[in-house]
């Protein structure tokens, strides 16, 4: 099936395809571009593959693959049809810069899920087994152990039960943790107590000893990790933020840690990234920082995901990872 743009005739579209090349621009690092170029040369030798800032004839560009987009897309690529985001989310994109009618596709790829599972398991284990406390004790030359508690006595709550949150919960359940999940709309995961919407958020928080933030960053979730939320958690709770830096109200975190309301924060994301050298988070003893490494798409498999979506698109089928711009995910 051939996709027919609005207002075009079948014969005109076929004729146009015979005389006009459909090209793709890749807007990322040269290292990743080399892998993608090889994949496309093998799978789609018919499609010109350009690496930014080289674009070829701009009117031929129908597809853009990017983490962040160049400015003024409407002028730069007047016939752009699909923007493939290299991220699991789209909050890094300036949606006002993307012309109406351009489909936005987020990355749905196994290594993103696997990496997030690994990171969250490490962080939950470290909170559960007091590893951050032992690291502080080592710096202070203190030898002081404590009795281990089984996983079933730890209540782990995951905010966001989507493409990343649900697989994370499944692994935590399999390891014996007492799990609950919260999302804007009702989701069901085997072995997980499910909460949904604002009306059930407080109950979810009251039953969560280790809180993992994996909700998409939208206007509704920006700043959701704040003083009010911290106060609704059990005293001494841990938080793990591997969503986006914008989820956290930074000025509310250190008072919650210093008062003991929170015992530990694990942050893989920040605002801005990287954090300035003078930022107070660097040196706080109860904050563990990682430089946005929890999860990343592997270049070879990510290229295959986009190639598969291109085949669907050109056959008139639905693509995976389509973004509802009204919801922001």
Whether residue 2 contacts residue 315, with contact meaning beta carbons closer than 8 Å, is answered with no
Burial of residue 296 (number of CB atoms within 10 Å: 0-12, 13-18, 19+): middle
Catalytic residue among 62, 244, 247, 286: 244
Catalytic pick among 292, 311, 312, 327: 292
Q: How far apart are CA 301 and CA 322, in angstroms?
A: 18
Torsion angle, CA of 160/164/169/171, rounded to 10 degrees?
-170
Distance CA 65, CA 308 (A): 14
Q: Is 266 helix (H, G, I), strand (E, B) or coil?
A: strand
152 is catalytic: no
13 classed as catalytic: no
Q: Of 150, 160, 186, 147, nearest to 247 (Cα)? A: 160
Radius of gyration over alpha carbons of the chain, in Å?
Answer: 23
Which residues are known to be catalytic?
244, 292
């Amino acid at each position: 099936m051939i996709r027919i743009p609005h207002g075009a005739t079948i014969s005109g579209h076929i004729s146009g395809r015979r005389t006009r090349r459909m090209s793709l621009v890749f807007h990322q690092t040269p290292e990743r571009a080399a892998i993608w170029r090889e994949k496309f040369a093998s799978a789609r030798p018919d499609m010109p593959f350009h690496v930014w800032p080289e674009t070829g004839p701009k009117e031929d560009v129908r597809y853009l693959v990017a983490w962040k987009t160049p400015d003024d897309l409407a002028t730069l690529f007047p016939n752009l049809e699909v923007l493939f985001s290299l991220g699991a989310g789209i909050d890094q994109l300036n949606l006002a810069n993307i012309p109406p009618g351009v489909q936005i596709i987020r990355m749905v790829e196994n290594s993103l899920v696997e990496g997030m599972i690994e990171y969250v398991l490490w962080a939950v284990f470290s909170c559960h087994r007091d590893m951050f406390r032992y690291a502080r004790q080592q710096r202070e030359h203190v030898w002081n152990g404590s009795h281990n508690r089984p996983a079933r006595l730890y209540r782990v709550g995951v905010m966001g039960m989507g493409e990343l949150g649900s697989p994370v919960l499944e692994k935590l359940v399999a390891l014996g943790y007492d799990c609950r999940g919260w999302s804007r709309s009702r989701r069901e995961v085997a072995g997980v107590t499910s909460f949904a919407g604002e009306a059930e958020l407080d109950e979810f928080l009251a039953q969560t000893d280790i809180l993992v933030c994996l909700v998409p960053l939208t206007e509704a979730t920006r700043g959701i990790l704040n003083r009010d939320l911290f106060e609704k958690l059990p005293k001494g709770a841990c938080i793990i933020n591997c969503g986006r830096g914008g989820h956290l109200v930074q000025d509310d975190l250190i008072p919650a840690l210093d008062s003991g309301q929170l015992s530990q924060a694990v942050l893989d994301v920040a605002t801005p990234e990287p954090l300035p050298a003078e930022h107070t988070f660097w040196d706080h003893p109860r904050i563990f920082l990682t430089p946005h490494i929890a999860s990343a798409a592997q270049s070879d498999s990510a290229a295959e995901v986009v190639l598969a979506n291109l085949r669907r698109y050109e056959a008139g089928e639905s693509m995976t990872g389509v973004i509802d711009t009204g919801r922001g995910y």
